[in-house]
Amino acid sequence: MRFSKICLSAICLIQIGLLYYQVATNVSPYYPVAYDQLRYLNEAYKLSQSFVQEGVLAVARQLLSPYSPNGFLLSLEGGLVAALSGGHRAAALSVNIILLIVTQCFLFQSVKRQFSEAAAWCAVTLFLLTATPFLNAGGIFDFRIDFSAFCIFGIWTSTVLSSRIFLERNTSLLAGFVAGWLVLTRFISFVYLGTIVGLLVCFFALMWIIRRDPLSKKRCVNAALSGAIMSAMFAPFFVINAKIIYNYYFVGLFVGSEPGVRALEFGIDTPIKHLLFYPASLLFYHLGFPFLIFAGACLVFAVVRHRIFQTDDRYDWHRNGAALGFLICVIAVPFAFVNLSASKSPVIIGIVGIPVILLVTVLIDTILGGRIIDGRFNSWQARTFGALCIGIAVLVFLFRAAAPKCRLDVSSCFAVNDFSDEIIKYARANLGDAPIFSSDNVTEMFNYLALSNRSFERPGSPVNFVPGYDLQILSTTKEDILSRFSQSDVVVLSDPLLGRNSVYPSNVTMTQYWPELRTFVTKNMISVARANIAGVPFEAFVKPAPKITGLSGGWITSAGIDVRMNSSAIADRPYVILEGLALLQPLGGPPEPHAVLRDSIGSALSTGLPAKITVSDNRYKIVIDCSNACARMVEPTIHLKFDRFFVPSKVGINADTRELVLYAPSTRILAAQE
C-alpha cells in the first residue's frame, strides 16, 4: 500500500472514531437541534419499525405510495441501519459519517486520477477545512437531506471529472447512477442536475455540428445516456409524489406569504440583500474563514511560483478548459435556481461546496502547469510544507468535531429530556398511541415530531403524536386557535413574550390571545410537567383521559374492558365518558352497561357504579359516575361489561367467532359533569 493511501486511511479512521464518540456522548443523548431533521428522523424510525414488525414488503408499500415531497433514500437508509443495529439516532447518523468518509476518499481518488497526487491532497485539505460538516443545520450531526446532498453532489461532480467530462463511457454511466442516488435522496436536485446535463448535451451537440469534433459527439452521447439513467430512476417516484412535490415546492416557495416570512427571518428585505444572501452564505457559512485563507494562499502561491519558474507568463487554460467550464456550470446552475424564490435558507446552497473545492484545485493545477524541479523548492521541502498544511487541516476538522453540539448548556438539555419524558410517560399510560399535540410557541424542543422521536428513542412503545396547533408560523384567528387547542390531548405553554421569534406572525398573534388561552387550558386540562429552560418557563398540560385495556382488534367483547384513571384527574372530573360507533342490529338493541371498581389484583371493590348508555345516529355514549367511590383510590380501575353480545359467524356477517359488543371508543374523556 502506498504511503498516501496509508495517510488517507489513518485520517479516515481518526475521523470515524471521533465522530462516533461525539454522536454517542454529545449528540444522541440530547434533543435534535434544527427543525428539518425531526421529520427525517421520524420517517426513519417509522420505516425501521415497519421493517422489524412487518418486513420488507411493508416498507416497499409505503415508499410506492405518496410519501414525501423531498425524497426518501435518506430516511430509508437511516431506517434500515436502525433496524439492523437496534439503535436509533446514533444508527441513523452513521449514514452521514459513512457518506463523509466515502466522499473524502472519492474526492481524493478522482482528483488524483485526473490531475495529480499533489492536487488530490490539496482537494482533501480544502475538504477538511470546509465548515459545512459541522453546521448545526445541514451538518454531519443533523439528520436531514442537505448533508447527504452536499456529499452525493460532490461524488457526482468528482465522477464526471473522472470521466474526463463524459468522455469515458463506463464512468459516465456510473455518474448517471450517482445522479439517480442524489435525486432519490433529494427530489428537487433533479432540477439542478437535469439542467446541468441538458446544457452539456446541447453544448456538446453544438460543438459536434459546428466543428465535426468526434470527441464532442462521444461526450454528447455519454452525457445523454447518463441523464437517461438518472431520469429513469426518478420517473416512477415523481409520478407517485407529483402532487405533494408541487404543493411543497411551487406553492410553498412561490405562493402565499410564507416565502416573505422566511426571507425576513434572515433579515432579507431589499433586492441587494436578496442577491447577496447565497454568495455570502456559501463563503462565510459553508466554506468558512480557514477554507478561504488556505484557498487564497494556495492561489497566490501558485501565481507567484508560476511567475518565478515559468518562462511563459501565460496560463495553459486549454489543458483544463473542459473541467473549468463544467465546474463553473455546476456551481452557477444551483445559484440561479435558489434565487428564483423569495424564501431563503442558508443551508441549501451548501450543495455546491465540493464543486467549489474542485474549482479551486483545478485553478491551482492550471496556474502551476507542469511539475517544476528547482533547488530553491525541492521535493522534501514541498512534501514537508504539504504535510504541515494537511496536519493543520486535520486539527481544524478535529477541533470542530469535538465542539459541544447542544445549543443549550448540559443541564438545560437534560431538562428538555426530563420534560419530554414526563409527557411521553403520561401519554403511554393514558392517551393511546396517537395523541393530538399543540404548542403556543414554535420551538425545536417541544413539538409533535420531537416528542414522537423521543418516544422511539426511549424504552417502551412508541407514541405517534399528531399535530393540532403546532409548528405554526402563519397567523390565524382566535377561534381557530381555541378550537385546535380544545381538541388536543397534550398542550405545552411557555411565556407570552419570552423565547419567541417575533418574525413569525403566529407568535405575534399568540401574544395577543395568550392570557385567554392559558385560562382555557388550565380550566380544562391538568398539569403534568414544568421546566425552566434557558430562562423560559414551559408547562405541559394533558387532557384527563382514562386508559382502556382489554380491547380485541378494535372491539369491546363480552369479556369487557378495564378503564384506568389517575386519582388527581378524577378528583375534579369524576365522570367517565366513552363514545364510539354502535352496531345495534345484531345486538337487538342497546346493551346495558355494568361497571364495578377493581383492586390491583382484579377483585371487585363495589357492587356497582352508576352507568348508562345512550345511542344517537349510530353512535353510543356511555357515562360512568365515579364521584363517590373513585377519589379514595390512588389509581382507580373500572371494569365495564355488558348484558349482551353477538357472534359474527353465527349471524352471517363473516367468519369471526368472537363475542362482540361495541366498537372500541373513539372518544374517552373525564368530565366534571355528565
Give me the residue spans of the domains in the chain.
3-402, 410-542, 547-671
pLDDT of res. 427: 87
What mean pLDDT value characterizes the chain? Answer: 87
- Nearest by Cα to 141 from 244, 46, 30, 245: 30
The Cα 139–Cα 557 span in angstroms is 52
The Cα 262–Cα 272 span in angstroms is 16
CB 242 within 8 A of CB 65: no
Give DSSP secondary structure letters for 161-209: HHTTTTTSHHHHHHHHHHHHHHHHHSTTHHHHHHHHHHHHHHHHHHHHH
Residue-wise pLDDT for 254-310, tens only, equals 776 777 777 777 778 788 888 889 999 999 999 999 999 999 998 888 888 777 766
Cα torsion at 285, 290, 294, 300 (round to 10°)? 70
Q: What would the grid cell of residue 168 be?
A: 469515458
What b-and-e string marks burial along 526-554, b requiring 16 or more CB atoms within 10 Å of the CB? bebbebebeebebbbbbbbbbbbeeeeee
pLDDT of res. 661: 93
CB 115 within 8 A of CB 367: no
CA distances (Å), origin 570, targets 123, 156, 541 = 67, 62, 15
597 or 556: which leads in pLDDT = 556
Q: What would the grid cell of residue 412 be?
A: 438545560
DSSP-based helix, strand, coil % in the chain, nearest 5: 55, 10, 30
Pairing outcome for strands 637-642 and 555-557: unpaired
Q: Quick one: three-class SS letters along 483-550?
A: HHHHCCCEEEECCCCCCCCCCCHHHHHHHHHHHHHHHHHHHHCEEEEEEEECCEEEEEEECCCCEEEC
- Nearest by Cα to 45 from 81, 15, 1, 12: 81
Q: Which of 43-47, 158-162, 412-416, 595-599 has the lowest mean pLDDT?
A: 595-599
The pLDDT > 90 percentage for the chain reads 47
| Section 123-135 average pLDDT | 95
Q: Is the pLDDT of residue 631 over 70?
A: no
Residue-wise pLDDT for 152-209, tens only, equals 999 999 999 999 999 999 999 999 999 999 999 999 999 999 999 999 999 999 999 9
Neighbours of 489 (CB within 10 A): 24
CB 405 within 8 A of CB 141: yes
Residue-wise pLDDT for 508-531, tens only, equals 888 889 999 999 998 888 888 999
Q: Is the pLDDT of residue 355 over 60?
A: yes
When pLDDT is cut at 50, 70 and 90, the band that residue 376 belongs to is very low
Q: Which of 176-185, 225-234, 634-643 has the lowest mean pLDDT?
A: 634-643
The Cα 31–Cα 450 span in angstroms is 7
pLDDT of res. 319: 78
Pairing outcome for strands 490-493 and 536-542: antiparallel
pLDDT of res. 472: 81
* Summary count for the chain: helices (H), strands (E): 22, 15
Please report where in the chains the cell 481524493 appears, as a residue. 108
| Section 222-243 average pLDDT | 94
Q: Is the pLDDT of residue 377 over 50?
A: no
Contacts of 360 (CB under 8 A, 6+ apart): 126, 295, 298, 299
Alpha helices by DSSP H, 554-619: 567-570
CB 499 within 8 A of CB 536: yes
Residue-wise pLDDT for 468-499, tens only, equals 988 888 888 888 888 899 889 899 999 988 88
Query: C-alpha angle 168/172/173, rounded to 5°?
Result: 125
Q: Which of 125-129, 434-438, 478-482, 571-575 has the lowest mean pLDDT?
A: 571-575
The Cα 594–Cα 609 span in angstroms is 8
| pTM confidence score | 0.85
Residues constituting the chain: 674
| Section 219-233 average pLDDT | 95
- Nearest by Cα to 510 from 484, 531, 533, 488: 484
Q: Is the pLDDT of residue 601 over 60?
A: no
Residue-wise pLDDT for 413-471, tens only, equals 999 999 999 999 888 877 777 889 999 988 888 999 999 999 999 888 899 999 998 88
The Cα 342–Cα 268 span in angstroms is 9
pLDDT of res. 606: 61
The Cα 506–Cα 153 span in angstroms is 36
| Section 356-372 average pLDDT | 82
When pLDDT is cut at 50, 70 and 90, the band that residue 381 belongs to is low
